[in-house]
Amino acid sequence: MAVRFHYGWSWLMALPLSSWAGVMLQNEQWKVELEPATLAVRAEPAGGGKTTLSDGAAPHAVSGLEQEAHAAIWQWDEGRYRWQARLEGQDLKLTLRAAGPGRVDLLRQPAAAMGRGLLLPLAEGSYIPSGSKLWRDFLPGFAGDGLDTSENLSLPLWGMDYGRISLHWLLLNPFNNQLAFSAQGQGLALTLSHDFNELNQQQPVTLLLHLAGDNPLAGAQRYRQWLTAEGHYQTLADKIKAQPETAKLVGASHAYLWGNNLLDAADVRDWPDLVKRLRGPAPLAVRLRGHFDAETRRTLQETGKRQDRYARKVLLDGVNAALTAEARAGWLGAQPAWADMAAPYRKLRADVEHAFGPALQPDASRWGGGLSRKTVDALQQAGLKRLWLGVDNWEGGLWQPQAVKAGVAAGYLMGSYDSYETALPPGQHEDWLTAQQGEAAYRQCGVTLENGQKKSGFQQSGYYTNPSCARDTLKQRTRALMSAVGFNSWFLDAYATGMVFDDFTPGRHTGEAAMAQGYEQSMQWVADAYQLPVGSEMGNAATSRGIAYAHGMQVPVLGWGDPDLQKNKQSPYYLGRWYPADQPDTFFKQVPLKEPYRDLYYAPQYRLPLYQAVFHGSIVTTNHWLYDNLKFSNAYADNLLAQWLYNVPPLFHLSAATLKTRLPQLQCADRAFRPLHEQLATQALIGFAWLNAEHTLQQTRFADGSRLTANFAEAPVSHAGQALPPQSLLAEPAGQKPRMLRVADCAGN
């Protein structure tokens, strides 16, 4: 008997009860068998063996099963859940709708389904070989109760390498899913579940299983096709047309500038005179002394005509901190005076020049440390034509607008670091300036959990905010900063991490998907309003629209909570203190990276350009700012080679004191990266291959025909008649002569 379904499907054939044990869908490419009660899944490609992709969840009562050769529908639990399955070419699409809230177990993939290896987008992408003890020991603990597929995966997908073929799961709804891992024999098993709640139960869950050949990027490429077909994909070329300043990302290395106060030690030309004036009766000196801490007061009182280096640092830090306190008092409060925030900084600069000018360098426009005209001049003199230069927060721009202006004039992107994801109560942690959004934002914009409690913000401080509620603050503050400083790029921290929440605030119910849209709308608003490139942390696919660059995709935050990295100062792996403010150890101290993190995140045999297969030619990505190119002494070469191979920018931290010693590495990185990126930045990465069994010889291919071949090994190799030296890359840009790049030519400190 033929039956037409409510979903607008073709005529399907109802099956008798005896057939409910299994549904077979097939076409010329493959067969897929489904068990409706458990959603057990078995696939059999044409000419290949049968593979169990899911053992199935706990059985449900099945009703209403109907099937044809390429499609089927059925219900679970008397209509509480409704499944649709359709086989279209190389895609099996499984869609689940719910009539009410509840958690649903979707897949239970056994370790045997890993094949030769698991393709998992942890940040840029990981290749996890079957039987790897390293990953079997790490991944279940790292995943905890499960990976959030919008936050913990850069792309909502994973795949299995079977050699001649590969299979790839895509989650077309990336929200409210948990992907958990467990050790099973010598491999890794995984489970996938989805939470329906009152905010999202109208949104179906769709799993797409894609059959491909021996291409490890096939799942990512299929996802890019889907994004494009859905109108969710923006190319970098389109972003450049919409926001022309975005063109300055092409060929630009990225660097953070530290030392963003008014004065640097080099700005003092007469220390005894400065001490005398600080001790004097001038109104500014009196006010500054009122802000000094005990050590600064004692140093000022006890220092003689000759100050040692430590005493000078204490005094200058105290002066800068006092000036900052004075400036903030002019605008920061329960209702921050955004429109007036720049005025106190301008006035204090003039006051300092009047009260202390004879003790300081005469050209006040060149005052400053890492963020200063001196730094911009040095970068230009070093021949660096394209750079993205960021600051740790936008207050540096209020102290040094002339430095920002000089950077823009030099052709650089000057980036404001900003954030609206956490709102603090007024008066709490005032040094965490971006979270100072005022009393109203703190009271009204916090996310409410399903239990009625507010969601604690970053590091359990304040509340995480709903982006739609925080957008008015974003608009007011960015307008004030643009008017006063003139940044030509913006970095909105955390908005592109994929970390989203269900907000049950009465009158503002917002599901995870809508919150992700809210983040993207805020980022797009900044890009459109000021016609500049916007960046964010990570750049996860679920929250990536509106950004042109992202920091954290190549190497993400690692070892969080490991005491050897975070707390044990005697450990050789200790990353360092968040001090001093003008050159924090955690960014500048070079250390070896502890195992297993060194192999998990840097070893070439475990890295895979999954994210680049989707977003190269759309979003420019770098390491997380915690781990610049010089941070890890035992990962320098692998990191640099991977950047060259994937055609992504290097990342550096610079301060006034380190500029001279770090410039050679930055110059060398620029010479290697800029010409290739100028050709490939807008090109899709279309191919990747391992060229030897050890996975140390790798090649990427781009849409214009360019090829990049990297030898990660410490011994020379030969490929296609070409000798590659140890730790080198052969660049073969389309239409240009080949170039050989050697890590040894860009040796780190």
Among residues 128, 643, 133, which one has the least CA distance to residue 635?
A: 643
Question: For 372-381, how does the pLDDT look when each residue is reduced to its tens digit (9 = 90+)?
Answer: 999 999 999 9
Residue 360 pairs in a beta bridge with: 268
Q: What local confidence, expressed as pLDDT, does residue 262 receive?
A: 98
Q: What is the pLDDT of residue 21?
A: 57
Encoded tokens for 686? 């279309």
Q: Which amino acid is at 518?
A: G
* pTM for the whole structure: 0.95
Residue 180, in any domain of the structure: yes
Bridging pattern class, strands 739-742 and 728-732: antiparallel
Phi and psi for 183 in degrees, rounded to 5?
-70, 135
Local structure of residue 606 (DSSP, 8 states): G
Report d(CA 745, CA 672) in Å as an integer.
Answer: 10
Sheet holding 2-3, edge to edge: 2-3, 12-14, 62-67, 71-76, 81-88, 91-98, 205-212, 166-171, 157-161, 117-120, 126-129
Distances in Å between the Cα of 718 and the Cα atoms of 709, 721, 736 are: 11, 6, 21
CB neighbours of 589 closer than 8 A, spacing ≥ 6? 575, 576
What is the 3-class SS of 238-290, one letter each residue?
HHHHHCHHHHHHCCCEEEEEECCCCCCHHHECCHHHHHHHHHCCCHHHHHHHH
Is position 453 within any domain?
Answer: no
Q: Which residues contact 261 (CB under 8 A, 6 or more apart)?
A: 320, 323, 324, 368, 369, 396, 399, 581, 582
Helix (H, G, I), strand (E, B) or coil at 236: helix
Distance from C-alpha of 52 to C-alpha of 209, rounded to nearest angstrom: 13
Query: What tokens appear for 699 in the block?
Result: 């090649």
**Boundary of a domain, candidates 363, 389, 406:** 363
According to the model, what pLDDT value does residue 4 have? 29
Please write down the HEC assignment for all residues of 436-463.
CCCHHHHHHCECECCCCCECECHHHCCE
Do 271 and 162 lie in a common domain?
A: no
Asked whether residue 206 falls in the same domain as residue 286, the answer is no
CATH code, domain with 104:
2.70.98
Single out the residue of 595, 607, 592, 623 nearest to residue 696, CA to CA. Answer: 607
The token pair that represents 291 in the structure block: 């802000």
Rama region for 42: left / alpha / beta (φ>0; ψ in -120 to 50; rest): beta
User: Do 205 and 311 share a domain, yes or no?
Assistant: no
- Residues 156 and 305 reside in one and the same domain: no
Which residues of 599-727 form beta strands (DSSP E)?
620-622, 651-655, 685-690, 697-702, 707-711, 717-719, 722-724
Per residue in 111-163, pLDDT (tens digit) is: 999 999 999 999 999 999 999 999 999 999 999 989 999 999 999 999 999 99
The sheet carrying 728-732 orders its strands as 685-690, 697-702, 707-711, 728-732, 739-742
The count of other CB atoms within 10 Å of the CB of residue 349 is: 22
272 CA to centre of own chain: 47
Query: What's phi and psi for 715, nearest 5 deg?
Result: -130, 150
First-to-last alpha carbon distance for the chain, in angstroms, is 77
pLDDT recorded at residue 11: 27
- Coil, strand, or helix at residue 473? helix
**How far is Cα 500 from Cα 173, in angstroms, rounded to an integer?**
13
Residue 214 falls inside a structural domain: yes
Give the integer Cα–Cα distance in Å for 459 and 494.
13
Q: How many domains does the chain have?
A: 3
- 3-state DSSP call for residue 641? helix
Cα 91 from chain centre: 29
- Ranges in the chain, pLDDT < 50: 1-20, 749
pLDDT at 149: 98
Q: Which residues does 501 contact at the CB level (< 8 Å), separation at least 6?
A: 447, 449, 455, 464, 512, 515
Do the domain assignments include residue 581?
A: no
Q: What CA–CA distance (Å, rounded) separates 627 from 185? A: 35
181 beta partners: 190
Residue with tokens 């590495």: 665
In a domain, 177, yes or no: yes
pLDDT tens, position by position, 628-682: 999 999 999 999 999 999 999 999 999 999 999 999 999 999 999 999 999 999 9
Q: Is residue 246 part of a domain?
A: no
Which of 208, 232, 256 is the endpoint of a domain? 232
- Assess whether 219 and 282 both reside in one domain: no
User: C-alpha distances in angstroms, 571 versus 198, 558, 563, 574?
Assistant: 48, 16, 9, 5
Same domain, 226 and 275: no
Could you read off the pLDDT of 316-325 as tens digits, one per residue?
Answer: 999 999 999 9
Same domain, 137 and 275: no
Shared domain check, 294 and 207: no
CA atoms 626, 318, 293, 344: torsion sign: negative
Count of positions (residues) in the chain = 749
Nearest to 661 by CA among 596, 562, 749: 749
Same domain, 133 and 226: yes
Helix 343-356 crosses helix 271-279 at what angle (to 10 degrees)? Answer: 110
CA distance 40 to 49: 17
- Domain stop point among 329, 363, 397: 363
What whole-number distance in Å separates Cα of residue 174 and Cα of residue 155? 9
Q: Which of 73, 55, 51 is nearest to 64 (CA)?
A: 73
Q: Tell me the residue range of the domain where 320 lies.
A: 265-363
Say whether both 121 and 227 belong to one domain: yes
Residue 593 DSSP class: P
CA distance 119 to 349: 55
Determine, yes or no, domain membership for 170. Answer: yes
**Cβ-contact 387, 252 below 8 angstroms:** yes
270 found inside a domain = yes
Are residue 184 and residue 55 in the same domain, yes or no? Answer: yes
- In a shared domain, residues 224 and 292: no
CA nearest neighbour of 728 among 557, 738, 521, 613: 738
> What's the token pair of residue 204?
């179906």
